[in-house]
């Protein structure tokens, strides 16, 4: 199947010569997670964003300070900064001491290994950097976010729509990606669910919460959840400014999620460098 997709990508530049807008459903066999069902685009984008991935775990005493910093940075940068809490590594392993609340995901665990997260908390910021060093310590997050917002090439805007399907068991996420600069690399897209306001146990090292070494009713936000669509092929090796790609994805709901606290995060990745070139999110 992968070889077929690559072959089809190779002919897409020819299609671009005569068409400024297209729906890839017309040219590609649907991949797992894609659907023809769609919904109205209600969240548009005009600016470059930065995605901060906070690698964390309930047993990490310094992670409360990192979460507090993310709140401060979000207030500073507004909708140009998106955050995703990836619970992974040894500090995220559940036990009876946290009522066996497991916030890990298979792909979060894979990213934790692939990007060589050295300690907790650590942050990936648009996944920039070399293969051996992409993680930033929290004291460097603000400086790196500023650097990227002032220097990154703004390639694409990700416009989004979202709804539940007729069965009320799936989220439908519609993506309309408007390319605003020429791209000379293939890209992939990931669509994941984040959930806010999950209450659980968290080890504590932040004086804001007093001297208690453990918070029994800690509120976890922007937590990466299961059932995401990860690294699906998106655009060809040559995509011109002015091209629009429209796609639709579904994500099966979990009975453990509170739908009113969920949002969909969508990010597009440079296949060669593995860096994220743009991201956006929408409430569900």
Angle, CA of 225, 152 and 180, to the nearest 5°:
90
Contact in structure between 276 and 251 (CB atoms under 8 Å): no
Work out the widest C-alpha separation in the chain, in whole angstroms. Answer: 65
Spatial distance between the Cα atoms of 240 and 74, rounded to a whole number of angstroms: 32
Read off the pLDDT of residues 107-161 as tens digits, 9 standing for 90 and up: 999 999 999 999 999 999 999 987 677 999 999 999 999 999 999 999 999 999 9
Q: How many domains does the chain have?
A: 1
Q: Output the pTM of the full model.
A: 0.88
Spatial distance between the Cα atoms of 281 and 264, rounded to a whole number of angstroms: 5
Query: Containing domain of residue 213, as a range?
Result: 2-283
Least confident among 50-59, 70-79, 127-136, 161-170: 127-136
Who wins on pLDDT, 11 or 222? 222
Q: For position 266, which CATH number holds?
A: 2.60.40.10
Contact in structure between 154 and 180 (CB atoms under 8 Å): yes
Q: How many residues does the chain have?
A: 284
pLDDT score at 32: 84
Q: What is the token pair recorded at 14? A: 């020819």
Count other Cβ atoms within 10 Å, centred on residue 59: 20
**What is the number of alpha carbons within 13 Å of residue 118 lying toward its C-beta?**
8
pLDDT score at 133: 78
Nearest to 35, CA basis, from 167, 133, 123: 167
Read off the pLDDT of residues 223-235 as tens digits, 9 standing for 90 and up: 999 999 999 999 9
Non-local (6+) Cβ contacts of 191 within 8 A are 33, 173, 175, 228, 229, 232, 249, 251, 264, 265, 266
pLDDT score at 107: 97
Residue 69, CA distances (Å) to 83, 121, 198 in order: 11, 11, 18
Whether the per-residue pLDDT at 7 is higher than 70: the answer is: no
Nearest to 179, CA basis, from 245, 267, 276, 109: 245
Who wins on pLDDT, 7 or 27? 27
Alpha helices, DSSP H only, in 116-194? 141-151
pLDDT score at 52: 98
């Amino acid at each position: 199947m992968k070889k077929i997709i690559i072959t089809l990508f190779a002919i897409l530049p020819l299609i671009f010569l005569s068409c400024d807008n297209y729906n890839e459903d017309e040219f590609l066999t649907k991949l797992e997670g894609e659907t023809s069902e769609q919904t109205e685009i209600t969240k548009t984008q005009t600016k470059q964003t930065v995605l901060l991935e906070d690698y964390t775990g309930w047993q990490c005493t310094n992670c409360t300070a990192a979460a507090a910093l993310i709140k401060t940075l979000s207030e500073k940068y507004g909708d140009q900064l998106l955050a995703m809490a990836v619970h992974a590594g040894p500090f995220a392993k559940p036990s009876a001491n946290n009522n066996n609340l497991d916030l890990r995901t298979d792909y979060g665990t894979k990213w934790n290994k692939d990007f060589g997260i050295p300690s907790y908390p650590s942050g990936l910021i648009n996944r920039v950097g070399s293969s051996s060093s992409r993680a930033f310590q929290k004291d460097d997050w603000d400086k790196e976010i500023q650097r990227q917002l002032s220097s990154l090439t703004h390639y694409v805007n990700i416009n989004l729509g979202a709804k539940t399907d007729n069965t009320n068991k799936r989220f439908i996420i519609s993506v309309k990606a408007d390319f605003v600069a020429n791209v000379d690399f293939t890209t992939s897209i990931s669509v994941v669910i984040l959930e806010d306001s999950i209450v659980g146990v968290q080890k504590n090292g932040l004086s804001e919460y007093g001297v208690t070494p453990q918070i029994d009713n800690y509120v976890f936000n922007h937590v990466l959840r299961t059932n995401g669509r990860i690294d699906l092929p998106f655009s060809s090796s040559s995509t011109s400014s002015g091209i629009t790609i429209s796609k639709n994805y579904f994500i099966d709901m979990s009975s453990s999620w509170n739908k009113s606290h969920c949002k969909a995060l969508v990010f597009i990745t440079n296949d060669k460098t593995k860096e994220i070139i743009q991201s956006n999110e929408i409430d569900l």
